[in-house]
Amino acid sequence: MLFSYPRFVVFNRKNGTSQGNFFTDLPKGLILITFGRFISNIAYRLVFPFLPTISRGLGVSTGAMGTALAMRDLVEVSSPLVGRMSDRRGTTQTMVAGICGLGMATALQGASSGLILFIFALVLASVSKNSFDIGSSSWTGASVPFSNRSRAIGLIETTWALSFIIGMPVAAVLIQAGTWRTPFLVTAILCIVTGIIFHIFIPKSPRRTEILLPSRLSPTARHALLGMVALGCGHMMMLVTFAAFLEDEHGLSTSGLGFIALTIGVAELVGSGTVTLFGDRFGKIKVVKFALLLSLPLSISLPVGEASIWVALLLISLWFACTESVIVSMLSTCTELDRKARGTMMGFVYAGWALGRFFGAIVGAMVYQNYGMRPLSIIMTTVLCLALMIILKAFGISGELEDKDLSLQ
């Protein structure tokens, strides 16, 4: 047997029975998908914790780098085209092409001598990462029953946290041993190797000549996509500013930012791990509403972190734990919005997320650079509050439109 999973007993609260091994009813290829997402997430997130260091290396301002990252996210609006390609050519082929393209883009980022070439590399990385993510989400949606999908998607999404916990501290060491370019080149090699492993061990998906597309999106789908736009906007505001905020207010070095990335990674692991263990049991939509509601007071309280680095770290870590729970639960839910064209629908989901991140990167970087954290925290809280209202509109205030009902829409 190629893979063997450790044994964890899952208890079903509804009927009081145990379901055996935590992994037994999950497809074996999921472990490779999870590893691939881990490597791709490291490549995608390398910029965020070391944004000030990379900006100085390229000779540009933090605001200019925020605009560059916005360009990367704007390209992801083309996700529906990638999703349609995934439906037509197969999820495995889409994942292999995506991870290999990401490797080349990451190498190009590390070799960039100026902002223009770096932006081009970011755009190429965006298209490639998007291909891999849509392919992996579609593969999981087609391979895992909806009743277990929070567990599967949650397991995959823990790699966002692990990319910070493992990848960013190692990247900080590589930067100190070499330059800011070193971790990009190392990660590029890992991406190419991962693509080769996928090509060898994951069976190719069958190609489909005809893809049935909905004539129009259901009201639930439309509101879910709008909710992803608002979530992406609020999330990106934090991502492009937390490193600059901690460096400006508390004078953190590159190694210090690596430690902060590790701490945030642990917080994200708590968020995604909670969904993995309890999302299917208590309801994916209920988790979204509860965690998003908790994130609101944390967002508005961020300026309090100016007084103490430990207060800032606590607020930021709790914020990432809550928003990670929201994102993982929303992705699990969205995989069921259209079963006949799952890749195309997930393309729309990632496009909404990317559109929000585009505006979040520009607004977040500009507001922080010109006015500081206080007005930014107000804007961020307002955007997340809007996301909560949209999601309540989509799925109901009391959560009556839950998993079983959603699959019938």
Q: What is the pLDDT of residues 355-372, one digit of tens each?
A: 898 899 889 988 998 998
Closest CA to 91 of 167, 203, 224, 220: 203
Distance CA 387, CA 395 (A): 12
Supply the pLDDT for residue 25.
66
Distance CA 166, CA 38 (A): 10
* 26-211+218-406: CATH architecture: Up-down Bundle (1.20)
CB-based contact 231:330 (threshold 8 Å):
yes
Q: What is the pLDDT of residues 236-265, one digit of tens each?
A: 999 888 888 888 888 887 778 778 878 888
Which residues does residue 18 pair with via DSSP β-bridges, in sequence order?
A: 11
- Region of 176 please: left (phi>0), alpha (psi -120 to 50) or beta: alpha
3 state DSSP class of 162: helix
Supply the pLDDT for residue 210.
52
For the chain, the domains span 26-211+218-406
Closest CA to 269 of 154, 153, 151, 161: 161
Which residues does residue 17 pair with via DSSP β-bridges, in sequence order?
A: 12
Q: Is residue 407's pLDDT more than 90?
A: no
E strand or H helix that includes residue 18: strand 17-21
